[in-house]
Each structure stands twice: as C-alpha cells, then as structure tokens.
Amino acid sequence: MKLLAMMLLLIGVSGLALAQVRTPEIDPGSAGSAIALLSGALLVIRANRKK
C-alpha cells in the first residue's frame, strides 16, 4: 500500500508539472506505462525482500 501511495504521489506530481508540455523531457503520453513498469519492478524487488 505504501508503494501504491508513492506511485500515486509520483503520478500526481508528474501530472501537475507536466500537463500541456509541448516538447517534453519526460513525455506525459508515456507516463502510464512508465509508472506501471517502475511500480511493478519495485513490487518485485520488495517481494523478494519480504520472503
């Protein structure tokens, strides 16, 4: 749940900061899959730790 909250925070920050950018360094259009990839990878790492 901590991880989920953290990802929501990241999405919020990136959404707030990056909305309507024309030439992005971090493309808002790819934010969904990029954050999903990062969240999933972190879940896998943390799950390995909790075993």
Partner 1 sequence: MGDTEQSPGVSTLSEPLITGSLPGSSNKHGITRIPFFPLGLPHRLILFALLFAAEWSPITRWVHKGHGGGALLQVAIAFSSLLLALSYFRSKDAFQRLSNDVRKTPIRWGLLALHLVALAAFLGLSAISSGNITFAYAITALWFATGAAAIVLAGWALVPSALALEFVRTTGYAWVYALGAAILAWRAVVSTALWNGAVWNPAIDLSWKPATDLTFNLVKGLLHLFLSQVVADRATMTIGSPKFSVIILPWCAGFEGTALMLVFSVAWLAYFRREFRFPHALMLVPAGMVVIWLANALRITALILIGVAGAPQVAEGGFHSQAGWIAFNCVALSFAILTRHMPWFASDRLGSYRVAADAPAIHNPTAAYLTPFLAILAAAMISRAASGGFEWLYPLRFVAAAAMLWFFRSKYRELDWRFGGFSVMAGGAVFGLWLGLDFMAGAHSSSTLAAGLATLPGPARITWLVFRTIAAVVTVPMAEELAFRGFLIRRLTSADFESLSPRHFTYVAVLVSSVAFGLLHGDRWLAGTLAGLIYAVAFLRRGRIGDAVVAHATTNALLAACVLLGGKWDLW
Query: Taking the complex as a whole, how short is the minimal distance between the CB of residue 3 and partner 1, in angstroms?
Result: 8
Contact set for partner 1, span 5-34 (CB under 8 A): 5-6, 8-10, 12-27, 29-34
Residue 34 has φ and ψ, to the nearest 5°, of -65, -45
CA 35 vs CA 13, 45, 49, 50: distances in Å: 12, 15, 21, 22
Query: Taking the complex as a whole, how short is the minimal distance between the CB of residue 38 and partner 1, in angstroms?
Result: 5
Task: Look up residue 2 and give its two tokens.
Answer: 């901590």
Residue ranges in contact with partner 1 by CB under 8 A: 2-3, 5-6, 8-10, 12-27, 29-34, 36-38, 40-45, 47-51
